[in-house]
Amino acid sequence: MDELEGKVAVVTGGGSGMGRGMARAFTRAGMRVVVAEIDEGSLDAAVAELTAAGHEAVGVRTDVSKLADVEALAEAAMDHFGAVHVLCNNAGVCTFATIDKMSIEEWEWTLGIDLWGPIYGVKVFKPLIEATGTGHINSTSSVAGLIAGGAVAPYNVAKHGVVALMCTLERELRSAHSPVRSSVLCPGAVNTPIGRNSVRSKRAMQGRDADADADGAIATGREAEKLNDSLGDALAQGMDPDDVGEMVLQAIRDDQFWILTNPGLAKQQHHQVAAMLEDRSLSRLRMF
């Protein structure tokens, strides 16, 4: 996209972390932003920050795992701004446990937000964006969408699915000579509250008090607690979410498909492919 001034962006999970970083980057570029977020406190704070800085922004409480909510988000964006040019499917959660200890409920909850959220977003917003004659659809995956580590099976499956979704979409857009482009964000460690937000989101879904629980991704047992600590340490040392927002903005401007915050981690795909071709084995992996 050559000109972003005045264009409208919708960002899910925009109340904190990378989503908030995207919203800041977009508004600094002169865009108008619709912040979609399930947590009302984060939503209100993000919109208040953006509007106080003189930018045009509105908030819509959205559960991306529900098609009706995503449809309502699109309707709200059209009612307020009259068009949508950019969509960032960014909302996400993470659950820690080995496969044998992962409940079906946790599988459904994670896949509902991390995979069905982007699927619903593409389905609902693609025709609206194409109608403007220009636009971009971005979805947040992860390095875990390129190579799968242990103890986060639902997250790995969802994020691999997001990569497949966006690769398919980009090829279909180009084949149809669509004016819309797409990209996939595959971050490594970023200093975000995904663990704390995951706890709050799951407890709210279950009708429990999130504040009664310790911060961190959903986890039980000593092994999961160690993984939780490793994740927290890695994220605390990770990239600033505002820097990620700027990377997404630049990718939209330059029509770049792959957005990698840590290309070194992504290179582990080379080792996996090499092992596959050499002796059909699975390469070793250390994420944190």
For the record, the structure tokens of 10 come out as: 């919708």
The span from the CA of 129 to the CA of 122, in Å, is: 10
Distance, in Å, from the CA atom of 28 to the CA atom of 34, rounded to the nearest integer, reads 14
- Could you say which of 3.10.20.30, 3.40.50.720, 3.40.50.2300, 3.40.50.1220 is the CATH number of the domain covering 8-279? 3.40.50.720
> What average pLDDT is seen over the chain?
88
Average confidence (pLDDT) over 206-210: 44
Q: Domain ranges in the chain?
A: 8-279
In order of 82, 113, 195, 215, the CA distances from 24 in angstroms are 21, 23, 22, 25
Q: Which residues pair with 36 in a beta bridge?
A: 12, 60
Q: What pLDDT, on the 0 to 100 scale, is given for residue 225?
A: 56
**Active-site entry in 15, 142, 155, 160:** 155
What are the tens digits of pLDDT across the range 33-43?
999 999 999 99
Residue 120 known to be catalytic: no
pLDDT of residue 246: 98
Which strands form 8-12's sheet, in the order they lie side by side? 57-61, 32-37, 8-12, 86-89, 135-140, 180-186, 258-260
Helix or strand holding residue 32 (H, E): strand 32-37
pTM: 0.89
The whole-angstrom separation of Cα 224 and Cα 20 is 28
Segment (H or E) for 194:
helix 194-205
